[in-house]
Amino acid sequence: MRPQPRIRPYRPADRAAVAAVCVLTADLGGDSRQLYPDEELMPTLFAAPYCHLEPDLAFVLDDGSGEAVGYVVGTADTEQFVKNFRETWIPRVAGRYPEPTGAPRTPSEEMIHLLHAPERMILPELAAYPAHLHIDLLPDYQRRGFGRQLMATLLTALDDRGVPAVHLGMVSANTAARAFYDRLGFHVVPVPDPGPLTYLGRSTAGLRGDAS
């Protein structure tokens, strides 16, 4: 019998697989390599720093053979995460991605600007939702309940720490992701001038029974 996918804690050996999932889902849920040719760039912003800074809040969907085919990562305290990102993470990656000196001209340069501006994550409207997260699954593992299980696993871990609520920022054009978050009980958190993003939030309680 073929081993069944399961959710487990992130391990350092998962780094490359997690990065690959990020790359293959970073363009509105699809392959981002044409948009961001450097395959380290998007994971450096949206996956690797969480695995490095808060590995206890990183979980993967294991395909049953040990390979990560999806993940959820997050932080319990966005303000502290931003400080750690500034003080610890940026120095680790600045050699590959130095701070830009001019206005961005390409999608990749826009991402590098974001890398060097972690304070963008701190918005007063999100203060009641101190945790935040990122979740991604390869297409073959979507719409099978695994995303809900991943989310429940992280929300349970946050709830156990006494964190009351969590938020995320998603590209508004990603309608499939929005439908997924709506089904999980996320609601819009109004933020002035959010640009291309929609901010969503919810309590950390309530999905515990779905965690595997």
Q: Does residue 210 carry a pLDDT above 70? A: no
In the structure encoding, which two tokens stand for residue 183, read together? 């089904």
- Non-local (6+) Cβ contacts of 50 within 8 A are 57, 58, 73, 74, 75, 134
Q: Does residue 209 carry a pLDDT above 70? A: no
Instruction: Pick one of 1.10.10.10, 3.40.630.30, 3.20.20.140, 3.40.190.10 as the CATH number of 6-210.
Output: 3.40.630.30
- Non-local (6+) Cβ contacts of 57 within 8 A are 50, 73, 74, 75, 76, 154, 157, 158
- As a whole number of angstroms, the distance between CA 55 and CA 14 comes to 11
What's the helix, strand, coil split of the chain in %, to 5?
45, 20, 35
pLDDT-derived band of residue 95, with 50, 70 and 90 as boundaries?
very high
What's the whole-number average pLDDT of the chain? 95
Cα 200 from chain centre:
13
- As a whole number of angstroms, the distance between CA 66 and CA 186 comes to 31
In the structure encoding, which two tokens stand for residue 203, read together? 């309590």
pLDDT of residue 211: 53
- As a whole number of angstroms, the distance between CA 189 and CA 129 comes to 9
> Which of 200, 137, 192 shows the shortest CA–CA distance to 170?
200
Domain ranges of the chain: 6-210
The pTM of this model reads 0.94
Q: What are the tens digits of pLDDT across the range 146-195?
A: 999 999 999 999 999 999 999 999 999 999 999 999 999 999 999 999 99
pLDDT-derived band of residue 208, with 50, 70 and 90 as boundaries?
low
Q: What are the tens digits of pLDDT across the range 119-139?
A: 999 999 999 999 999 999 999
Distances (CA, A) of 185 to 40, 50, 57, 74, 87: 32, 24, 21, 18, 34
Cα-based torsion angle of the residue sequence 107, 136, 200, 175 in order, rounded to the nearest 10 degrees: 70
pLDDT-derived band of residue 206, with 50, 70 and 90 as boundaries?
confident
